[in-house]
Amino acid sequence: MNKFYHENDIEIGIDEAGRGCLIGPVCVSGVIMGDIESNPPPYQIRDSKKCSPKIRNILREYIENNSITYSVQLINVEEIDKLNILNATLKGMTQCVDDIRKQVNIDRILVDGNQFNIYMDEDFEPIEHICIPKGDDKYINIAAASILAKEYHDEYITNLVNENPQLLNYNLLKNKGYGTKDHMNAIKEYGPTKWHRKSFKLG
């Protein structure tokens, strides 16, 4: 796992969670990790999909307490249906950079995947961005962002279900909103809810 794309530059790592879900927001996170050598994490920071929920939760606390700064943005269902999921995700990425740049001057943006809008600074100069497929396996800031995005997304879904018990019919506590067989069958039986993404194929 690499710490920098260019050593000693200040680089934001960006990743998302929930892009493929049928319900709820897409969650985007940006992270700039601090000095992990003098205060190493209790577990390896890596792609959130390769961490158990327990380890991911422990790493969330570590990242929040040991990053230089971080941002988490949730783009709601209404925005997803209005913009489409790609543009909603890109909007979340831009908001993360906006938020972080209020606190830290950055040199570069590292993005998991292959799509990102050009980001212009106040002088209308583009800030360098690098799109990196499987970047959450390669760069620690992206891996940290993937963990925060997944944690905040799943926490949102869990809270939504706890506040709206009828959503238990869709087995969201297990599938976290993704289009699993049980989720699709529940949509056929009970219909979509107001929290489902109308712009997605739901059956």
SS (H, E, C) the chain: CECCCCCCCCEEEEEEECCCCCECCEEEEEEEECCCCCCCCCCCCCCHHHCCHHHHHHHHHHHHHHEEEEEEEEECHHHHHHHCHHHHHHHHHHHHHHHHHCCCCCCEEEEECCCCCCEECCCCCEECEEEECCHHHCEHHHHHHHHHHHHHHHHHHHHHHHHCHHHHHHCHHHHCCCCCHHHHHHHHHHCCCCCECCCCCCC
pLDDT band at residue 201 using 50, 70 and 90 as cut-offs: confident
- Is the CA virtual torsion 142, 144, 150, 156 positive or negative? negative
Q: What is the mean pLDDT of residues 85-95?
A: 98
* Segment 172-197, tens digit of pLDDT: 999 999 999 999 999 999 999 999 99
pLDDT attached to residue 3? 84
Q: Amino acid identity, residue 147? A: I
CA dist., res. 203 & res. 181, Å (int): 11
| Mean confidence (pLDDT) of the chain | 95
Instruction: Please state the rounded mean pLDDT for residues 118-125.
Output: 93
Quote the distance between the C-alpha of residue 35 and its chain's center: 22
User: Average pLDDT in the 104-123 region?
Assistant: 95
Supply the pLDDT for residue 96.
98
Mean pLDDT computed over 119-129 = 94
> What integer pLDDT is reported at residue 129 of this predicted model?
97
Residue 107: pLDDT band (50, 70, 90) is very high
Mean pLDDT of 18-26: 97
What confidence tier does 8 reach under pLDDT thresholds 50, 70, 90? confident
Write the CB contacts of 52 (distance below 8 Å, at least 6 apart in sequence).
none
Confidence label for 203 from pLDDT (cuts 50, 70 and 90): low
Residue-level pLDDT at 1? 83
AA letter at 23: I
**Cα separation, 130 vs 93, whole angstroms:** 13
Fold designation for 11-152: Nucleotidyltransferase; domain 5 (3.30.420)
From residue 91, alpha-carbon distances to 79, 98, 134, 142, 149 in Å are 10, 10, 20, 17, 15
pTM for the predicted model, two decimal places = 0.96
